[in-house]
Amino acid sequence: MIKICFKSIIISILVINFTFAEKINIFDFTDTELQSLEVRKVRGADNKTNYSLGSNENGNYLKAVADNAASGLGKKFTINLNSTPFINITWKVERDLKGINEKSKKGHDYAARVFVIKKTGATVLSNRAINYVFSSNNKIGENWPSPFTKKSIDKVLSTTNENLNEWVTVKANVKEDFKKFHDLDVSEIDGVAIMADTDNSKNKSISYYQNIYFSAN
């Protein structure tokens, strides 16, 4: 009986450790991390998006205020999509961008978006990306190529038509999306970036990000 119990404890520990290993946190949203993230202003944008930190009962979060602005925060991060193919995002849009055509160059703005990036060549322009967005005007599940480059696909995971000023948690299978949208069998990605942008519409948005991680299921 003692041996059986001991084996059960060992198995339980192994299962717990495996579970933790299958959850890869991307952002901590701390002061130290914020200073270390790569900031990229969109070419032609008048201003940078203002990013600041906060916290609530669920932990740290990032607040993004884009007032005729566009810049992103990126992190080089290799993720094994064979073991952890799902990206999980908790986010909220307090002020959205109603009335713009997000599929056009003049309206290609989002109050909240998260990019996953795969290097496919020697330059940044050769990279492929899936752009998971919190849309202000379209339906969940809709997708289309960016009007600026077909190498980036916009996919709606949340919409303010249903969840304005509410925290929402969403999930997407990144491995399957790269196959579906780029016809690429991708085993790993090379980076993740956050961006709130209003440089095309010249409007203002306010959004929040929290608990962005990859998981096995």
Q: Read off the amino acid at residue 38.
A: E
| pLDDT string in tens for the chain (217-residue length) | 434 343 333 333 333 333 445 899 999 999 999 999 989 888 888 899 999 999 999 999 999 999 999 999 999 989 999 999 999 999 999 999 999 999 999 999 999 999 999 988 766 667 999 999 999 999 999 999 999 999 999 999 999 999 999 999 999 999 999 999 999 999 999 999 999 999 999 999 999 999 999 999 9
The continuous run of DSSP H or E covering 17 comes out as: helix 2-21
Q: Where are the domains of the chain?
A: 24-215
Phi-psi region of 141 (alpha: psi -120 to 50; beta: other; left: phi over 0): left
Could you report the per-residue pLDDT of 33-52, keeping only the tens digit for each?
A: 999 998 988 888 889 999 99
The 10s digit of each residue's pLDDT in 204-215 is: 999 999 999 999
pTM of the model: 0.88
By residue count, the chain amounts to 217
Q: Give the CATH H-level superfamily of domain 24-215.
A: Galactose-binding domain-like (2.60.120.260)
Please check whether residue 63 is in contact with residue 51, taking contact to mean a CB–CB distance below 8 angstroms: yes
Query: How far apart are the C-alpha atoms of 49 and 29, rounded to whole Å?
Result: 16
C-beta separation of 109 from 199 below 8 A = yes
